[in-house]
Structure 1
Amino acid sequence: MTRAAAVLVVDDEPDIRELLAQTLCLAGFDVSCAATGIEAMQRLGGRAPDVVVLDVLLPDLDGFEIARMMRRAGHGMPVLFLTAPGAADRCTGPAGEADACVAKPFSLEEVVLRVRALLGRTRDTDAPPPRPDAQPHRPDAQPHRPDGPSAEAPAHSPVRRSAADLHWVPW
């Protein structure tokens, strides 16, 4: 039996960190979390994760520096950066430290798919299958919003999200 792939989620926003952790756990991954760059580097001392999901803007160190420190320490696991909109090209170019980037606000499904893709490039075994009790994604499903129907923003208008906007949407 193969072990579940380990994912380290590093984000200083508790709601985003928890949402990512729950989503990745439901997808079958073994997830640990860190709120700062220093905490992330300390977690690398134990069981090294197979993939790191890393926010670019952290209070103590930026994600680019953390990725460089991980590489210098001999950790070769892939890094998925969570970036500001429009900044994705800076983290995957020739000087970038990330193996992939997802711009905030992001789709949880996209994060899971990117983590699986990164694992497919680096592991001999496949990414873990979804948990048996997990619901498959339904493209026709409407997002659940306890405060009423979901309002779609026009494509040209900027979307700002805060922790209060995060709602768990099982798929």
Structure 2
Amino acid sequence: MPDDIPDTAPNLEDVNYDELSEFFEKKGAVELISLLDGEGYRFDEIDDLLDVSRGYLNDRRDEAVHLRLIVPDQAYRDDSVRRVWTLTTLGHYLRQRMRHLGVTESHERLITARREYEDRKGDFLDWVDDPESIEAYAEDMRAGNRVHPTEFPAKIQDLFRRIDHDRF
């Protein structure tokens, strides 16, 4: 193997399984390993995607390095070299098991749901910041107008249409 490529293949006799088990019991550990992949993520990207405090995330990163689950690496992005965190071979093995158990898929849906929530919350905050929109909405509600179905995002409107058409 060339000298500039680290060998991350695990020697399973050297793995401290008690520490490994304790690591995954801690807040943010499963989320961190579930998120990482072969491409790697910058620490700020990890921090943005996980709903874990930066302090916990720093601790989990350091512990994952100690346990040889992740390593710092370099990635070329935006015409520059960036430091990223990526899984070792042992980390990949464990993430693969997470994938087979549905953990990574559930975690990806959770991240997507958080993003959608933040987007929709932003839309609401923009709307509520306009007194005229609140007054118009209140008047429509008082008048008995059906304002809700037309205000749902297009994806949700489509979902309701499919549910109505796909009755048992």
TM above 0.5, one fold? no
More helix by share: 2
Higher-Rg structure is 2
Q: TM-score, normalised by structure 2?
A: 0.25
Provide TM-score, normalisation by structure 1: 0.25
